[in-house]
Amino acid sequence: MEKSSNKLWLRDVNWSAFSLLVVTIVLCVFLDRKFDTFWTYQNMYSIVQEISMECFAIFGFTFLMIMGEIDLSVGAVYAFSGYFVAYLMAFGMPVWPAIVCAILACALIGVVNGTLVVRFRLNSLMMTIGMMLLMLGLRDVLSELMGGSTLKSSYRAIARVEIGDVRVTIIAMIAIILVLEFLLRKSAAFKKIYYVGENLTSATIYGIRAGRIKVLTFIASSVGAGIGGILATSHVSAANVTTGDKLEFKMVTAAILGGCSLFGGKGSIANSALALLFLGIVVDGMVKYDVEVLIQQLVIGIILIIAVYVDTLMNKEKIEY
Amino acid sequence: MSTDAKTTWTELLKKRETVALFLVLGMALALLVRSGNFFLDPSNLDSLQAGIAPKAIIAIGMMVLLISGMFDLSVGSVMGFSGVVTAICMTKGVPMPIAILAGLGTGLVFGLVNGLLIAIARVNPLIATIGTMYIARGLSEVLLVRETREGLTELDPTFIWLGAGKFLGLYHMFWVMIILIVLAQLFLRKAYPGRQLYYVGGNREAAGLLGMNVTRIRLLAYCFSGFMAALAGILDTTRSEMANRYMGQGVEMKVIVACLIGGGSIAGGKGSAVGALLGVTFMSLLNNSFTLWEVGKWQNAVLGMVLVSVVVSDGYLTLRKQRALGKA
């Protein structure tokens, strides 16, 4: 799109991403002044390492937000997939087939979410909350069937693979961010995601098969969450219930901080990932200040509400309720 | 409305409340047939009452919101938080009536915050109430920071009597629920403010054009929902004789599912207080069957399944109606 007038160009700059970067840097400088241990390779590495697994879930999630949909089942799928792999392996299945099965199961969840939302024009928030409960329930069933058995070492090794002292999950995260961001900006196929989110009716009139794209994106979201969950579970020694807990909440916060809108049509992969890093740093800072876990959640909750409020202010004309 | 007996019957059969009634009867029958002795055991019936009453009270508030096209995910946390506030006030030596008022006030404040965020600041209802849900949960953790898992257990016997005392074989809180259901049903059917809720939920713009103050109606509806959640929390505290961090967890989803089963719709404009009660009764019987048939681990999975099917059927019915009106 050509922007001839200067004013339009100014409005076209993604201020939210820019401000987020500034805030992140300010926060880093502040924490660096306060704590000697903050700006060390060790600390930074552990923050990035933590994010690298959650980041797999945010890719599809961001695509969905751009299309004006949402997937609150990511946290539950994240939790479920790790358990599912562990469960299959308890029956003697080798690690890779088990992972493939788990990813296929996650894809199936995405198909169900997407098809139902598109076919019956459901509110995706409500639909995926249902799916979230369902998957958490299945996770509980699996956890009860397995007892407290630890994971097999072949499974635990996956997240620990390193390429030149850097965990493979971090390298994969950076590679995927770069590729997806490039595709989102340059490829015609990925641009359709924005068109659908911006104006569904006109996108359909121009021959974009919005329903199919939505279903595919729901699949991408579930599969991404599934992969993240498999990696996160492989990172710990036994599958436990805290994996993926309230992840959907963090995802929404990150996506909206990263410039996505609940009304669709906006957002980018790199910014969502940056926002995730920002949240990681905020949490790290709070840990260093000995803030209690629940108050940490409170802070993230307040960040979310403010972000959504700003998003609402900027989209007044799109409010339907 | 036709006076022809046949049409009235088919109309009655088409109503979601009737479906909910059959679900309740079917579930009760299944429980009676499969494990009648345990089901009719007085202690089981007591726990069933105690399970239904607080949820039905919350469900009245939720139904009012659903009718006007909104919902509230913070009710479970607000319920727990109000119970904790009341209990803490009493252990700190505050007189009981004031402690109860403090608890109810807490609920009202949370309802007001939700209302301000949603009706005035126009934040998405789901996100706003998820936010207040975590805030209320976090605050009750802060209050209980040095308490054990059981939480506060040293409560005044008079306070316990208020909700868990019995009159004609039913808990006081069950009577409170019955009275509230009757009042709410009359309010929704007969009173003008009650009818306004349906107009707002059915067609917000038209309601606005007819001169209704949509913002105020929504704000009040959220306050009402918060208040009912607080009332339920206090009554629940009297029966369980403790206030702890686990109270009210997951209640919001159960109540929403119950309301959708009982004839509410996410699209708004539909629902009744009696439907809310039927929905809650069904969910409680379902829950009871998990306990009696010892299939507890499937509980959440089935709840999720029920929610998915209810949301899908609700969406399907709404879509069909819109298609019939030529809107989609």
**Among the partner residues A130, A292, A321, nearest to B307 by beta-carbon distance:** A130
* Closest CA–CA distance from residue B103 to any residue of chain A (Å): 21
The pairs formed by A127-130 with CB atoms below 8 angstroms and a separation of 24 or more are A127/B308, A127/B311, A127/B312, A127/B315, A128/A70, A128/A71, A128/A72, A128/A73, A129/A72, A129/A73, A129/B253, A129/B307, A130/B304, A130/B307, A130/B308, A130/B310, A130/B311
Per-residue pLDDT of chain B (328 residues; tens, 9 = 90+): 444 455 566 666 667 777 778 888 888 888 878 877 777 888 888 888 888 999 999 999 999 999 998 889 999 999 999 999 998 888 888 888 899 999 999 999 999 999 999 988 888 888 888 888 888 888 888 888 777 666 677 777 777 787 777 788 788 889 999 999 999 999 998 888 889 899 888 888 888 888 888 899 999 999 999 999 999 999 988 888 777 777 878 888 889 889 988 888 888 888 889 999 999 999 888 888 887 887 777 888 888 888 888 888 888 888 888 888 876 5
Yes or no, beta carbons of A319 and B130 under 8 Å apart: no
Place of tokens 């917000």: B204
Decide: pTM greater than 0.95.
no
Q: Which residues of B205-233 are buried (b: 16+ CB within 10 A; e: fewer)?
A: eebeeeebebeebbbbbbbbbbbbbbbbb
The 10s digit of each residue's pLDDT in A254-274 is 998 888 888 888 888 998 999
How many separate domains does chain B show? 1
Instruction: Read off the amino acid at residue A116.
Output: L
Return the ∠ at Cα A74 (arms to A161 and B319), rounded to 5°: 150
Instruction: Read off the amino acid at residue A279.
Output: L
State the pLDDT at residue B201. Answer: 86
B308 Cβ under 8 Å from any chain A Cβ: yes
The secondary structure of chain A in percent helix, strand, coil, rounded to multiples of 5, reads 75, 0, 25
Please list every residue in chain B whose beta carbon sits closer than 8 Å to the beta carbon of residue A122: 311-312, 315
Asked if residue B256 belongs to a domain, the reply is yes
Instruction: Supply φ then ψ for residue B241, to 5 degrees.
Output: 60, 25
**Among the partner residues B70, B297, B316, nearest to A120 by beta-carbon distance:** B316
* Closest CA–CA distance from residue A270 to any residue of chain B (Å): 23
Q: How far apart, in whole angstroms, are the C-alpha atoms of residue A189 and residue A168?
A: 29
Asked if residue B206 belongs to a domain, the reply is yes
* Closest CA–CA distance from residue A84 to any residue of chain B (Å): 15
Q: What is the CATH number of the domain that holds B103?
A: 1.10.3470
Say if strands A166-167 and B166-167 run parallel, antiparallel, or are unpaired: unpaired
Q: What DSSP string runs through B269-315? A: S---HHHHHHHHHHHHHHHHHHHHTT-GGGHHHHHHHHHHHHHHHHH
* Residue B94 token pair: 């505050």
State the pLDDT at residue A130. Answer: 87
B297 Cβ under 8 Å from any chain A Cβ: yes
* Closest CA–CA distance from residue A300 to any residue of chain B (Å): 9
State the pLDDT at residue B1. Answer: 41
State the pLDDT at residue A143. Answer: 84
* Closest CA–CA distance from residue B163 to any residue of chain A (Å): 31
Q: Which domain holds residue B296?
A: 50-322
The pLDDT mean for chain A works out to: 85
Instruction: Read off the amino acid at residue A3.
Output: K
The 10s digit of each residue's pLDDT in A17-35 is 578 888 888 888 888 888 8
B126 Cβ under 8 Å from any chain A Cβ: yes
Asked if residue B43 belongs to a domain, the reply is no
Yes or no, beta carbons of B122 and A129 under 8 Å apart: no
Domains and CATH numbers, chain A: 16-27+34-315 (1.10.3470)
Asked if residue B123 belongs to a domain, the reply is yes
A295 Cβ under 8 Å from any chain B Cβ: yes
Pinpoint the alpha helices (H) of chain B: 5-14, 16-39, 42-67, 75-91, 96-115, 125-143, 157-164, 172-190, 192-202, 204-209, 214-240, 251-261, 273-292, 299-324
Asked if residue B67 belongs to a domain, the reply is yes
Instruction: Read off the amino acid at residue A226.
Output: G
Yes or no, beta carbons of B315 and A133 under 8 Å apart: no
Q: Where are the beta strands (DSSP E) in A19-124?
A: none
Yes or no, beta carbons of A302 and B131 under 8 Å apart: yes
Asked if residue B29 belongs to a domain, the reply is no
Q: What is the pLDDT averaged over residues A86-99?
A: 87
Asked if residue B2 belongs to a domain, the reply is no
